[in-house]
Chains A and B, each alone.
Chain A
Amino acid sequence: AQKITQTQPGMFVQEKEAVTLDCTYDTSDQSYGLFWYKQPSSGEMIFLIYQGSYDEQNATEGRYSLNFQKARKSANLVISASQLGDSAMYFCAMREGPSSGAGSYQLTFGKGTKLSVIP
Chain B
Amino acid sequence: GAGVSQTPSNKVTEKGKYVELRCDPISGHTALYWYRQSLGQGPEFLIYFQGTGAADDSGLPNDRFFAVRPEGSVSTLKIQRTERGDSAVYLCASSPTTGNEQFFGPGTRLTVL
Contacts and interface: CB of A to CB of B under 8 A. Distances in A.
A35 B101 contact: yes
Interface of B: 31, 33, 35, 40-45, 48, 55-56, 58-59, 89, 91, 93, 98-99, 101-107, 109
Nearest to B103: A47
Contacts of A45: 43, 91, 93, 104
A37 B103 CA distance: 10
A43 B58 contact: no
B89 A111 contact: no
Interface of A: 4, 33, 35, 37, 42-47, 50, 91, 93, 95, 98, 102-112
B89 A106 contact: no
A9 B102 CA distance: 24
Given A45-B93, A108-B45, A109-B43, A103 B107 contact: no
A40 B42 CA distance: 13
Contacts of A103: 45, 48, 56, 58-59
Contact of B99 (A37, A105, A109): A105
Contacts of B91: 45
Contact of B42 (A43, A93, A102, A105): A93
Nearest to A106: B45
A103 B60 CA distance: 12
B104 A44 contact: yes
Contacts of B89: 43
B106 A43 contact: yes
Contact of B105 (A37, A44, A109, A110): A44
10 contacts: A45-B93, A95-B99, A103-B59, A105-B33, A105-B98, A107-B33, A107-B35, A107-B93, A107-B102, A108-B45
